[in-house]
Structure 1
Amino acid sequence: MGLSLGTATEASTIVDDVTGKTVTLREDGRGDRVVGAPWATRSPVLAMNGMAATSHPLASQVAIDILKDGGSAMDAAIAANAAIGLMEPTGNGIGGDLFAIVWDPKTEKLHGLNGSGRSAKGQTLAQLKAKIGDVSQIPNWGTPPVTVPGTVDAWFELHKKFGKLSMAQNLAPAITYAKQGFPVTEVIAYYMDIYQKRYEKLHKAGEIEEIANYQATFLINGKAPAEGQVFKNPDLANTLSQIAKGGRDAFYQGEIAKTMDAYFKRIGGPLRYEDFANHSSTWVAPVSVNYRGYDVWELPPNGQGIAALQMLIVLENFNLKAMGHNSADYLHVMTEAKKLAFEDRARFYADPDYQNINLDYLLSKQYGKARAKLIDMNSAATQVEHGDPKLIEGDTIYLTVADANGMMVSLIQSNYRGMGTGLVADGLGFIFQNRGAQYSLTKGHPNVYSPAKRPFHTIIPAFITKDNKPYMSFGLMGGAMQPQGHVQMVTNIVDFGMNVQQAGDAARFHHKGSTSPTWEGRMKDGGVLELESGVTASTVKELQKRGHKIHITSGPFGGYQAILKDLQTGVYHGASEMRKDGQAQGY
C-alpha cells in the first residue's frame, strides 16, 4: 500500500526508500486510511433494520435497544434524547426546547413539530427592561432569559402520533443511568469544567441569582466531573420517574410545575405556574426548496431553518463543483450567500403568532437569483441589506433515528447557550434554558420581547427527500453555525459526491459577525471567516486578498449526525461527528 497523501499548511517532502518516489507528509500526527478520502475519520455505519446517530455512544445504544424491543424510531429518539439530557447536560436537557421533522412511512409525508416554550405571561417588555437595566440585549444567564421548557410536551406529542412502546419504557434507560451513574466522556467533561468556572464567576458578579442547586446537582466534591469519572443524577431520575408515571401533566401541571413556580418566586424569576400549565407544542408543515434535484426541508420560523434554504437558492446560481471543494471561490461564494441570508434572518424571522413571513416569496428561485446578483466574486462584502420589506405580512444536541418500517426522525434539542441559565429548581436535576436571550429589545422589530411569546430559535432539524422518497435525515448543531452547516452538508453530498461520513468530516467554515436576530448591531465590517486547519494556505491567502478577515480555529463548527437511506437497496448509512463524543450504531 502506498502512502495516503493529505494537505497541510506547511508540508514536508521526503523520498520513499522503497518506491523511490517523492511523497508529501501531512505532519499532523494522524494515521492514514486505506480507502476513501484520506481526511475522513471513519467509514459510514451500514445497517438494514435500524440506525441511530447521536452525540453520545451510550445514547445511541439506548436507541438501538429500544428499536430491538419493538419500539418505533420515535420511541428510540425520545429514549436517546432523555439519555443525552442526562449524559450531555452541556447542550440539552428537559429544561430546554425541541424541534423535530419526522418521515412517516404510513402517510409517506414529512411532519414537523415546534416544541419551543414562551416567555412569562406576567412580564412586560417594560418590566424586563427595568430588571436588566440600560443594556442593548438580554443577558444570557440567570432569570432574565428564562422561557418555559418545551421538551417534555414535545416528547408526548411526538409519542402520541408515532410511538409504539409506553413512555415509561422509553424513559427507563435514562432513569437507570441517572440512578446508577455513567462515565463522563472527554468533550463533555471539557465543557462541564468550563461552565463550572463561568457560573461561579457570574454568580459572584450577581448575574446568576443562585447556583447552590447547580453545584449540588452537577459537581462532584465541588468540582466538575473529569473524563471517566462516574456521574449520577438521582434528582433527575426522580423527575423522569414522575413524568413516566404521570405523563406530561406531571411536568406542566403537577408537583414539578409547583416546584418550578415556587423556585422562581423565591429567586425573583418571572415564570409562574400558569406559564407551565398553559404551554403547548405546535405541529407545523416543513418547508423546502429544490436544490439540483433534491428537496431540502426545514421548519418555518420562529426557527432559523429557512436561512439554510435561502442560502441554497442563491448558491444554485453558481457551479460549486467546478469551483472545487473548499477552494477560494467556493468558500467566498458560500460566505457571501450566508451574509445575504442572515440579513433577512435578522430582520424578518420571529414567532409566527406575532409576525408572518411570505415564505413563498422568500424561498422563490426568482428571489434567490436576484440576491445572487449582489455577490461580487472578487470582493468580500462589508455590509449587506436585507431583502424587500414585502417579506413581512403581518451548545445543543442533534440526533437521528431510523427503523425497519422506514420511519426516520430528525430531532434537535437544546438549552441554548451551553448548559443554560445556571438555574436548577429545587431537587429537579435539570437546568433551565436561556433561550430568551434571543429576543430583541427594539420596539417594532418582529422578534421584540413580548409576554407569552416564543423567541427566535437557532436549533433546526433538517431532512432531504428525492423524488418524494426519504433520502437523508440530518442536522448540525451549534447556534448560528447551523444553517451554514446544513448548507455545507448538502453541497458536500449533492455537488461533491461525498458519502454521509465524509460530508461531516470535511473541513468547515463558519462566518460570524452578521446582524443579530436581536437587532443588536448591523454588520458593517464584513465579519470574520473562521476556518479549520484542513484548508490550504493558498486558499487562505486568496480569501484575504478578496477582503475576508480569516481566523483559523477549532470549536465553532458544530456537531453533525446523519442517516442516509440508499434509494435502491434501502440500506441505512449512519454518520456521526468526529468533533464530539458520539457515534452511529445500527443492526
Structure 2
Amino acid sequence: MADPMHEPSEETLRVVSAELNGRPSTQVWGRKGMVTSMHPNATLAGLDILKAGGNAVDAAITVATTIAVTSQNWAGLAGDSAWQIHWAEEGTTEHLDGYGICPRSMTADALIDRLDVGPDAFAEEPTGIRDKGIATSLVPGTPAALCAAWRRYGTVPFADLCSRAIELAREGIVVNSYITGSLGKCAGKLGSFEASRVIHFDGDRPLQIGDLLVQKDLASTIERFAMCMESEFVDGVTARAIVDHSRRAGGFLSLEDFGGYKPVWRPCLKGSYRGLDLMVTGAPTSGIHVLQALRILDQFPLRDLGCHSPASLHLLIEAVKIALGERRRFGGDPDFLEMDIEASLEKNHAAEQARSIDENKATSREPDFSSTAGSTTHFTVADQYGNIVNATQTIGGDYGCGETVPGTGLVMNERSWWMSLKNGPNVVAPGHRPNIGHAPTIVFQNGVPICSLGSPGGFGIVQYVVQTLVHMIDYGLDIQAAIEMPRFRINDLAFAVAVEDRIHPTILDALRTMGHSISTYPAWTDRMGGVVGVEKRQHGFLSGWDVRRNSLALGY
C-alpha cells in the first residue's frame, strides 16, 4: 500500500490467510476513475457520470441522491453530510460541513418536555430512547451541501445528476436481503407512522426479498430538488410540507430554520503517521480523534510486534480508548466552542498519552453510556483529473426517527438523539450541530493523495478507520485486504471490547489475561461498520469495498 518501503511479511500473510478463512479478495481496479459505495445501484450511477466526462463532485452528487432512494435506512435528503473534497488543480483539501442544526425553538428542556423522557435519556445516543418521531429531527443539511459542492465544482447540469435517483424511486428497486433485514429490525418504529408503513410495508408485513420498493412521492421530491436546488428546502413545496407536518406532529422545525441554514466550508486537519501525511475532516466530525489515536500508536513499533498479535491489538485498543474518551469530553460544534486543536494534536501530548499506556495491562472504568448504533453510509469517488470526494452521510440511526413526511417520501432524521440533554460540549441547543463519529480521511505521500477512506458505524467509525489504516501502513496490506481483516469495536466507556470471531481464540484469551473485557461478534457482521475507499497505485486505482455492508466498487 501506502508505504512502499515494505511488503507484507510472511507472518502477516499467514495471519491474513487464517483470519480471512482462506477467502480470496475480489480486487476491483480502475485506470481512469473509481466509485465505491454502499449500494450497487449508487456505485453504477456514479460511474456512468465519470465515464461520460463528469468529475468526482458530479459523480458524488449522483451517488448521494441515488443512495437517498436505495438506502433510506442510512441516508437521504432529510439527513446530513460530511464531505471531504480534494481538488487537484488547486491542490486543496476541504471539509464541506453539511451537518444538520438544532431548530431555533429546540432546547434540551423543550425536548425533554416534548418527549416526556426519564433520566436514562440524558446521555448521547441513549439505547432505545428519544429516537422516534419528528420531534427529534434537526434541520437537514444534505440538500444545501450537495448544491454548495456543485456550485463550486460541478460541470454536469444538476438536474442530470439527479435523474437516476428519480428513475429508481419512480419505477422501484427490488428489495435485497440487506434492506429486508433493516426493515425487520425497524418494523416497530416505521410501523408507528402511516406514511412510513405505506411505503415500506406490504399489508401488515415489512417488504421482503424480491418485493418492489416504489417511492413515487420521493421521486417527485427529488425532481423538485433537481429543478429548484436548495430553494426547494428553503421555502419550496418540500420545506413547507416538512414544516406543516412537524407542527402537527409536535416537532420544532420552522421555515425560519430552513431559510437560515447554511453549509460551511471548513479547513481539514492535518496529521502524520509513519512519515505519511493525513488530512481529516474537522469538528464537529471526529476526524481529530483518528489523528489522536494514530499519533499515540506512532510511539510504538506495531510492525515489529506482529499483525493481530496480543501485544499489537492491546496497543491498538488502548490508543483508541484514549481517543474515544477525548471525543466524549470535548467533541462538539466548533462554532459554539473554544477548541484548542493544536494542543490536542501536539506531539508531546501524544507522547504523554502513550506513556500512560501499560503495555501489559488494560485500563478500565465504569461506563457512562453504551452505543451499538451503526447506520450511516460512506462513499468515495476518484476521477481521472486527480480529484477525490470522500463523503459520509446519514439520517442518524436505522431509518432515522422512523417518521415519513406525507407527500414527500422523506424519512426524517433523529439527529438530536446523538446529542446530550445535559450541559456539555454536545448539548442540544438552538443552532448547534451535533458531534458525531464521521471521519473521512485522505492519506498523502509527498503531497499526492494515495488513499482515501471512511466508514459508517457511529461510535465505531474512528475505530474502524484507525484499524484499516494500521493494516495498510504498518502491515503493508492493500486497501481491500485491510478492510476485510477482522476488527474490534468498543461499545462504551467501560471499554468492553467486541471482536469478530475470526481472530483466533488464543489471541482473545491472551487479551483477557491482560485485563480486557472481550466478547465476540459473528464473522463479517455489519456491526463492525462498512469501510469503503480508494487506493491510488502507479497505473490506476484499487477500490476498497466492504462485504459487511452491501457495498460495491466499480472502476473504468
TM-score of the aligned structures, taking structure 1 as reference length: 0.86
What does residue 430 of structure 1 align with? 410
Residues 526, 549 of structure 2: 8 Å contact kept: no
Q: Does 1:503 align with 2:486?
A: no
Q: Does 1:298 align with 2:277?
A: no
What does residue 473 of structure 2 align with? 494
The structure with the greater share of residues assigned to helix is 2
What CA distance in whole angstroms lies between the structure 2 residues aligned with 1:484 and 1:64?
29
Residues 260, 273 of structure 1: 8 Å contact kept: no
What does residue 520 of structure 2 align with? 552
What CA distance in whole angstroms lies between the structure 1 residues aligned with 2:267 and 2:487?
30
Residues 40, 502 of structure 1: 8 Å contact kept: no
What CA distance in whole angstroms lies between the structure 1 residues aligned with 2:407 and 2:366?
49
**Match for 1:190 among 174, 181, 204?**
181
**Match for 1:318 among 286, 300, 305?**
300
**Match for 2:320 among 322, 333, 338?**
338
Percent identical residues: 27
* Residue identity in the other structure for 2:167: T
Q: Does 1:135 align with 2:119?
A: yes
**Match for 1:578 among 516, 535, 547?**
547
Larger-Rg structure? 1
Residues 438, 462 of structure 2: 8 Å contact kept: no
Instruction: Give the drift of 1:283.
Output: 0.2
What does residue 181 of structure 1 align with? 172
Residues 142, 421 of structure 1: 8 Å contact kept: yes
* Residue identity in the other structure for 2:166: I
Q: CA RMSD in A?
A: 2.0
Stretches of structure 1 that go unaligned for 5 or more consecutive residues are 9-24, 29-36, 204-210, 386-394, 515-525
Alignment map for 1:242-253 (pairs within 5 Å): 242-253=224-235
Aligned residue for 1:89, secondary structure, equals coil
What CA distance in whole angstroms lies between the structure 2 residues aligned with 1:157 and 1:182?
29
Residues 415, 434 of structure 1: 8 Å contact kept: yes
40 and 475 in structure 1: CA distance in 2 versus 1, 3 angstrom threshold = farther
355 and 40 in structure 1: CA distance in 2 versus 1, 3 angstrom threshold = farther
What CA distance in whole angstroms lies between the structure 2 residues aligned with 1:294 and 1:144?
45
What does residue 155 of structure 1 align with? 146
What does residue 388 of structure 1 align with? none
Instruction: Give the drift of 1:341.
Output: 1.1
What does residue 540 of structure 1 align with? 508
Alignment map for 1:201-212 (pairs within 5 Å): 203=192, 211-212=193-194
* Residue identity in the other structure for 1:512: N
**Match for 2:444 among 443, 453, 465?**
465
What CA distance in whole angstroms lies between the structure 1 residues aligned with 2:356 and 2:62?
46
Residues 421, 428 of structure 2: 8 Å contact kept: yes
Alignment map for 1:162-173 (pairs within 5 Å): 162-173=153-164
Q: Does 1:54 align with 2:42?
A: no
What does residue 21 of structure 1 align with? none
Instruction: Give the drift of 1:423.
Output: 1.2
Q: Does 1:415 align with 2:395?
A: yes
Residues 438, 455 of structure 2: 8 Å contact kept: no
Say which structure, 1 or 2, has more relative contact order (CA 8 Å, 6+ apart): 2
Alignment map for 1:383-402 (pairs within 5 Å): 383=365, 395-402=375-382
What CA distance in whole angstroms lies between the structure 1 residues aligned with 2:352 and 2:258?
44
TM-score of the aligned structures, taking structure 2 as reference length: 0.91
- Provide Cα deviations, 1:497-540, integer angstroms capped at 9, x if missing partner: 001100100011111212xxxxxxxxxxx331111111011101
What CA distance in whole angstroms lies between the structure 1 residues aligned with 2:22 and 2:378?
23
What does residue 356 of structure 2 align with? 374
Residues 114, 282 of structure 1: 8 Å contact kept: yes
Instruction: Give the drift of 1:251.
Output: 1.9
What CA distance in whole angstroms lies between the structure 1 residues aligned with 2:469 and 2:175?
32
* Residue identity in the other structure for 1:190: G
Residues 199, 213 of structure 2: 8 Å contact kept: no
Instruction: Give the drift of 1:232.
Output: 1.2
Instruction: Give the drift of 1:246.
Output: 1.0
* Residue identity in the other structure for 1:555: D
What CA distance in whole angstroms lies between the structure 1 residues aligned with 2:22 and 2:463?
21
